[in-house]
Chains A and B, each alone.
Chain A
Amino acid sequence: MPHRLHLGVFFTGVGPQLLWTAPDFAEHTHIDTFIATAKTLERGLFDAFFLGEGLRVRENRGRVYDLDVAGRPDAITQLAALAAETERIGLVATQNTTYNFPADLARRLASLDLVSGGRAGWNIVTTDNAWTGENFRHGGWLPHERRYERAAQFVEAAKALWAGDRVERHTDLVGLSAAPTVPASPQGRPVLFQAGDSAGGRDLAARHADVVFSANTDYDKAVEYAADLRKRLAEYGRSPDSLRILPGASVVLGDTPAEAAEKAAWIQREQTTGPRAIAFLEQYWGKDLSGYDPDGPLPDIEPADGELDPSRGTIPIHLRTGKLERVAEWRRLSADRGLSIRDLVIEVNPRHNSFVGTPGDIADEWERYVRTRAVDGFNILPQELPGTIEDIVDKLVPELQERGIYRTGYEGHTLREHLDLS
């Protein structure tokens, strides 16, 4: 069988990616929006519908951040409701190993798996900031370098419970004594997804994950990433085919390449509005910059001392330090090229529309990715609801099917079957 493309949609439900200003913006926390989205994806024969997780509402300078879409449901609860409304599509919950109890989470995930008839997945994530921890019993207890250590012990405990074994584990990172309570689903246990791109995250994926949700969409990076992961798989005695690689990607379709490019540029400007550009700089400056014109030059005042705080969402490791050098670099860049605040933010904080073109062009590109096994598919981040998803299902999916790289009907019933995992 030729390698086929697997598609998911990653519904983060918050953040600047999703354009709430679009005229047809669907009320993003209403259950009907989730149901309609999942049903459209099922019509498009998608492997899975993913829900994101964020355990604290984002802030800017100590206040709830007001410019982005915010508010979302508990993922497992929402997916259990969707299990009652759908037949085939996989239902994947992003859930944190830092701020959950292993037996409790394992039980809830197994329950979702059972009520959905074997369609559940768990996207395993970790949190290392104390700011998020302020909502939990444990607080910010776990040092950054030990998050994946706890995650591995957590996942091992969950897997043992799902295998029907009693678990007794008492380490400095995980403590439980628990017995399984939920019978196995038709797919045995939930499919495990892993999204971290750090060495610790890749290692966790190679040991435990069935699917990785990577950030490497660019072709050369994707090839390099796949090679690295397959090497790690071999170290754990796993076959190269035992893991699916589905990088996150955004898609902008147009009837002509020019139309698609124009739409992509519009999306980028909408995602970085003037107020958002100011708020982005405020995160670095640590000061009120609301008096500055986003279409004018960079602020002439100096940033406050101290590094970034995580209140706008998790900050990648490479941005956690070196704030002042970064600001100095931006000043040079904006002076050299005459960039306004908003231009600069679009330049330095690009929200890549990874695939922009006609449905035929993108299908050709994806065919190359999947035939060379650079990826096994994509996990799509929609910018417009329901627009992005309807366009993909109605226009891109038929092109993929014509090229023989996408299913024309569901063959299996479980998520594991959809992903061709044995």
Chain B
Amino acid sequence: MHFALEIDGSGAGSPPATAIGLGAAQAAEAAGFALVTLADSPLPPPGGGGRVEAGVRAAFLARRTGRIGLAPTLHVTTTEPFHLATQLASLDHASLGRAGWVVGAENSEAALATVGAQPLGEDELRREVADVIDVARQLWDSWEDDAVIREHATGRFLDPDRVHHVNFTGARFSVTGPLITPRPPQGQVVVLGADTLGVTGRLDIALIAAPDLDEVAERARQARADGAPLVFAELDVLLGEDQLDALTPWGPPRRLRHTGSAGELRTLLDRLEGLVDGVRFHPAVLSIDLPRLAATLGARPGAGRTLRETLGLPRPVNQFAAAR
């Protein structure tokens, strides 16, 4: 099973701190996690304090880690799709192929007001998420791998037949392309998103947030049927009886939740093993739960050079090269 870790702030049960998450990312790497994810919002954290934009955090972490995947949350509703695709491609270049993207679909009135927009209807939102993923994927392919030829005899730096306009038209925006950044090392950045977004077939990893195992099993089956190559269960985790008061800010469970001993967590993971390909952990208090989690999970298999290799996902064929 693959393990992912959410490292935003100081943990799921406490208000996000301004930390970059360096200690957590390095500890997660040492413990053999496949990737860390970095939640984000255009709004200030509800409990006060501040937060560094997730793409910036991930880029900084890219140079202070060597093996672990880095997946910031970028919201499709409050960004320019072209910038979003460029930022993620650049993160993949800076990390030498370790970038992921957690698809965010922030749709509150306050969040949309930061860009002078209004919340979208349910169908509109689903279409917007699909459009932004589609255009990002096309833009990542807009430079073929061998586009830069540096041909001294003709003076041509690149082959213009291998750098493509994408001419994408969505419901609410259009993008001509190509991207300003050459193709990411992984070909395509690894795209993670909730199965509830309604775009499961466009994801590399579907994230299932369900409060019990039966529902996880059912939705995992559905996500696979909808075309997700990998399915991860979302899991709140609080290890040890000594910190049960950290539960208070958590509220009722929206996803699987484990509180208690390491041994019971192992049992839960064994049961999940047959249902999903991986788990994304949301520790209650990172500084306490991460070391305990690392000890519980034990040594993990060595990671690949890129996040795709680590996850056993193939490097995708370029859609424009394939069509040529």
Residues of A within 8 A of B (CB): 20-21, 29-31, 35, 54-57, 63-74, 76-78, 80-85, 99-101, 103-104, 107-108, 111-112, 114-115, 134-137, 139, 170, 174-183, 273-276
Contacts and interface: CB of A to CB of B under 8 A. Distances in A.
A84 B158 CA distance: 31
B82 A177 contact: no
A21 B57 contact: no
B50 A183 contact: yes
Contacts of B42: 103-104, 107, 178, 181
A274 B182 CA distance: 26
9 shortest interchain CB distances as A-B pairs: A175-B116, A80-B59, A84-B63, A111-B56, A73-B90, A81-B94, A111-B53, A177-B113, A77-B90
Interface in B4-46: 18, 20, 41-45
A30 B96 CA distance: 9
Contacts of B176: 56, 134-135
Contact of B93 (A31, A56, A70, A85): A31
Q: Could you say which of A31, A73, A275 has the most chain B C-beta atoms within 10 Å of its C-beta?
A: A73
A71 B180 contact: yes
Contacts of B52: 111, 114-115, 182
B178 interface: yes
Contact of A31 (B56, B83, B96): B96
Q: Could you say which of B53, B89, B163 has the most chain A C-beta atoms within 10 Å of its C-beta?
A: B53
Nearest to B22: A84
Given A77-B56, A108-B55, A64 B180 contact: no
A20 B150 contact: yes
B268 to A, nearest CB: 35
Contacts of B182: 29, 71
Contact of B78 (A20, A65, A81, A101): A101
Contacts of A85: 63
B215 interface: no
B contact residues, range: 35 or more
A55 B41 CA distance: 25
Contacts of B318: none
Contacts of B200: none
A74 B60 contact: no
B94 to A, nearest CB: 4
Contacts of A69: 157
B280 interface: no
A135 B91 CA distance: 20
A73 to B, nearest CB: 4
Given A70-B157, A71-B143, 12 more contacts: A57-B180, A67-B157, A69-B157, A76-B55, A77-B55, A78-B94, A80-B59, A101-B80, A175-B116, A177-B114, A274-B155, A276-B155
Nearest to B179: A57
Given A134-B175, A181-B50, A275-B155, A100 B83 contact: yes
A72 B52 CA distance: 24
B253 interface: no
B174 interface: yes
Contacts of A107: 42, 53
A137 to B, nearest CB: 4
B221 interface: no
A77 B91 contact: yes
B87 A57 contact: no
